[in-house]
Amino acid sequence: MHSNYRPMALLFAFLMLLPGCTSLGIRSIPVDELKKKYASTSSHFIVVDDVAIHYRDEGNKDAPVLLLLHGVCASLHTWDGWVALLKDDYRIIRVDAPCFGLTGPIPSGNYTPEYYVELINKMLKQLSIQKLSIAGNSLGGYMAWQFALKYPQKVEKLILIDSVGFPQEMPWLLKFSTNGLVRPFARSVMPRYFINKAVHEVYGDQSKVTKEVVDRYFELSQREGNKSAWIDIFMVMKEYSKREDLSKGLTDIHCPIMVMWGTKDIWIPYTTEFPKWQKALPYATFKVYEGTGHIPMEEIPEVTAYDAMAFLTGKKLTAGN
Helix, coil or strand: residue 163: coil
DSSP string, 42-97: TEEEEEETTEEEEEEEEE-TTSPEEEEE--TT--GGGGHHHHHHHTTT-EEEEE--
Q: Residue 112 falls within a domain, yes or no?
A: yes
Q: Residue 78 falls within a domain, yes or no?
A: yes
pLDDT reading at 90 higher than 70: yes
Query: Higher confidence at residue 268 or residue 20?
Result: 268
Alpha carbon dihedral 115, 157, 201, 220, in 10-degree steps, equals -50
Q: Residue 206 falls within a domain, yes or no?
A: no
Q: Residue 308 falls within a domain, yes or no?
A: yes
Asked which of 104-108, 135-139, 176-180, 230-234 is least confident by mean pLDDT, the reply is 176-180
pLDDT of res. 15: 47
Q: Residue 2 falls within a domain, yes or no?
A: no
pLDDT of res. 142: 98
pLDDT reading at 317 higher than 60: no
pLDDT in tens, 125-135: 999 999 999 99
Rounded Cα distance between 295 and 310, Å, is 19
pLDDT reading at 24 higher than 80: no
**pTM, 2 dp:** 0.91
Asked which of 43-52, 87-96, 185-194, 309-318 is least confident by mean pLDDT, the reply is 309-318
pLDDT in tens, 177-226: 888 888 888 888 888 888 999 999 999 999 999 999 999 999 999 999 99
Q: Residue 278 falls within a domain, yes or no?
A: yes
For the chain, the average pLDDT equals: 90
The CATH number of residue 68's host domain is 3.40.50.1820
pLDDT of res. 22: 47
Rounded Cα distance between 153 and 84, Å, is 28
pLDDT of res. 178: 86
Q: Residue 307 falls within a domain, yes or no?
A: yes
pLDDT of res. 73: 94
The confidence band for 23, taking pLDDT boundaries of 50, 70 and 90, is low
Contact 79, 297 (CB under 8 A): yes
pLDDT of res. 175: 87
Helix, coil or strand: residue 309: helix
pLDDT of res. 244: 93
The confidence band for 16, taking pLDDT boundaries of 50, 70 and 90, is very low
pLDDT reading at 5 higher than 90: no
DSSP string, 263-284: TT-TTTTHHHHHHHHHHH-TTS
pLDDT of res. 18: 43
pLDDT of res. 185: 82
Pick from 108, 84, 107: which is nearest to 94 by CA?
84
Angle ∠(104,109,115) on CA atoms, nearest 5 = 90
Number of domains in the chain: 1
Report the percent of the chain where pLDDT is more than 70: 90
Residues 6+ apart with CB under 8 A from 242: 167
Query: What is the span of the domain harbouring residue 73?
Result: 30-167+245-313
Q: Residue 15 falls within a domain, yes or no?
A: no
pLDDT reading at 3 higher than 90: no
- CA distances from residue 5 to 10, 71, 121, 280 in whole angstroms, order as listed: 9, 25, 39, 36
pLDDT reading at 14 higher than 70: no
Query: Higher confidence at residue 186 or residue 166?
Result: 166
Q: Which amino acid is at 168?
A: Q
State the average pLDDT over residues 229-236.
92
